[in-house]
Amino acid sequence: MGPEKYQNLVQMLFEQARKNGTKPFLWAKSEGRFQAQSWDEVVDQVARMSRALIKEGVQAGDRVALISENRPEWLIADFAIMAAGAITVPAYTTSTTSDYQHILENSRAKGVIVSTAKLARTVLPAAHLSDSAEFVIAMEEPRLTQSINARMLRWTMCWRHNPPVWMRCGKPPLPYRARMLRV
């Protein structure tokens, strides 16, 4: 199936995962060594994170801010946002709190996904001041020093408690909410 046959990137990801299964897909350095995640592991995390986003109230057309450096979780989060039918609002990791506040307010992002504790110190005040951000998912423990208006969720908890629907049927179909988004 050529690229023109896919309706969207999520469908392409799941089809490639069906073909490549346990083959390595994403690599990251952990404890001094590079470790791989297979195609199956990645699509499992995408499906679970997508369900977590839907549980948090994300609907088709909603926006979710993604603030992270280049790492496997960035790609997983981006695909999960798309699989939930939402639109990714990427932001630079070098922005200021006021920059993030501007991005969140103008995009009307319903949620925020942030990577490191250091980055969270800059992003969380913006999420707190935002009228639209209802939740923040932290890839790493943010070590909060004050409360914020948005619900805080831990990255790993989002997929541990959200088994993907397709686990029972052997191969992953197109995710429930995946669709082509045209801007």
Q: Distance between CA 180 and CA 51 in Å, rounded?
A: 18
Alpha carbons within 13 A on the beta-carbon side of 71 = 16
State whether residue 14 is helix, strand or coil: helix
Q: Does domain 3-160 have CATH number 3.40.50.2300?
A: no
Closest alpha carbon to 127 in 60, 62, 64: 64
Q: Distance between CA 105 and CA 49 in Å, rounded?
A: 24
Confidence of residue 168 (pLDDT cuts 50, 70, 90): very low
Closest alpha carbon to 101 in 68, 117, 123: 123
Q: Distance between CA 176 and CA 173 in Å, rounded?
A: 8
**pTM beyond 0.85, yes or no:** no
pLDDT at residue 170, as a whole number? 32
Q: 32-85 pLDDT, tens per residue? A: 999 999 999 999 999 999 999 998 999 999 999 999 999 999 999 999 999 999
Confidence of residue 140 (pLDDT cuts 50, 70, 90): confident
State whether residue 26 is helix, strand or coil: strand
Which sequence spans correspond to the domains of the chain? 3-160
Percent of the chain with pLDDT over 70: 75
